[in-house]
Amino acid sequence: MKRVAVKVAYLGENFHGSQRQPESRGLRTVESEMLDKILLVDKVSPGQVDLRFASRTDAGVSALGNVVCFHTEFEDNDLLLRALNSVSDGVYYRAWAEVPEWFNPRMAAKRSYRYTCPSHRIDFERFAEAAKIFEGHHDFKRFAKVEEKYRNTVMAIDSVETRMGDGVIETDFVADYFLWNMIRRIMAAVMQVGRGTATVDDVLSKLDGDDGTFGLAKPGGLTLLDVSYGDVAFSHPIRCPYEKSIRQDTYRDALDSAFHGALRSYYFDRAWHDLPGREVEGGRSPLKGFLQRLDLGLP
């Protein structure tokens, strides 16, 4: 038996967080899914698995590169990944590294996250300016949920980078570690500045310790991109170990996209034509003008 660290990915909407919950609650988590499938394909006993996560993720938060350690009886680590991916439901096993017994996955060198939000009605320059404020050393007590009464909330964020995408804004964070709810609280503030309902000075005052918060951004926009270690090198199988799962999930995504596209087309491209009194002088419909102001991509 040996200990391995495995990089995993999962969509947060499919799980009630990463950590296992009491069985009485009946909640599906990343840990419960992984433990069930490890015991299904491996010869290791339940008491020997010792499943440990590098980063805990809340319900709705996704991951592309979380790290999970556990014991296995598999000699071939590529085969271990293929076996787990073949039975997995929502967790993708990407890469592996053999680690010593004392290895603690939480003692990572760096963690990187991305928050993605809609760009609609957001001033990108104000948004980016507010995001950049959080780079460097600060006391984040107004931007984190701190359970321990005396926990130190002074820390550093190495970098905060923003970019425009196709209808979205992506904000990347890199640091040694992050406090609980920290990025979601930061993003709530940044988005409010971008929308004009708060100012950069409002954000600076909270960083200086003034009372109050900006709330909590939705968990669905947050993704743990990667967890890295200075002395651990992960190996990736030559062939994609989750190719079949990706094909199935991509097909489901295509069905969802086609369904929503048809639904949108039915209402916005057809239904408005059937409304009485839709045409006015100049051939412009009040309804269509209203929808165009909502920036729904109508011609």
Whether residue 273 is predicted with pLDDT greater than 60 in this model: the reply is: no
Confidence of residue 20 (pLDDT cuts 50, 70, 90): confident
CA distance between the termini of the chain: 63
Provide the token pair at 45.
Answer: 């006993």
The type of residue at 84 is: L
In this model, does residue 48 exceed pLDDT 60?
A: yes
Could you say which of 58, 78, 202, 249 is catalytic? Answer: 58
Query: What pLDDT score does 19 carry?
Result: 86
User: Is 90 exceeded by the pLDDT of residue 59?
Assistant: yes
What does the pLDDT look like over 122-176, one tens digit per residue? 999 999 999 999 999 999 999 998 876 657 899 999 999 999 999 999 999 999 9
In a 13 Å sphere around the CA of 189, the CA atoms on its Cβ side amount to 27
Specify whether the CB–CB gap between 185 and 221 falls below 8 A: no
Share of the chain above pLDDT 90, in %: 73
31 pLDDT band (50/70/90 cuts)? very high
Average pLDDT of the chain is 89
CA-angle at 112, arms to 136 and 212, nearest 5°: 55
Average pLDDT in the 181-195 region?
A: 98
- % of residues, the chain, pLDDT over 70: 87
Q: What is the mean pLDDT of residues 262-290?
A: 57
Residue 218 has pLDDT above 90, yes or no: yes
Q: In this structure, what is the dihedral angle of CA atoms 202, 203, 207, 208, given to the nearest 10 degrees?
A: -20
pLDDT at 281: 46
Q: 92: which residues sit within 8 A by CB, 6+ positions away?
A: 8, 9, 10, 85, 242, 245, 246
Residue-level pLDDT at 299: 42
Relative to beta strand 62-72, strand 2-10 is antiparallel
Catalytic annotation present for 226: no
The per-residue pLDDT for 12 is: 95
| Prediction pTM value | 0.86
Compute φ and ψ for 174, nearest 5 degrees: -130, 130
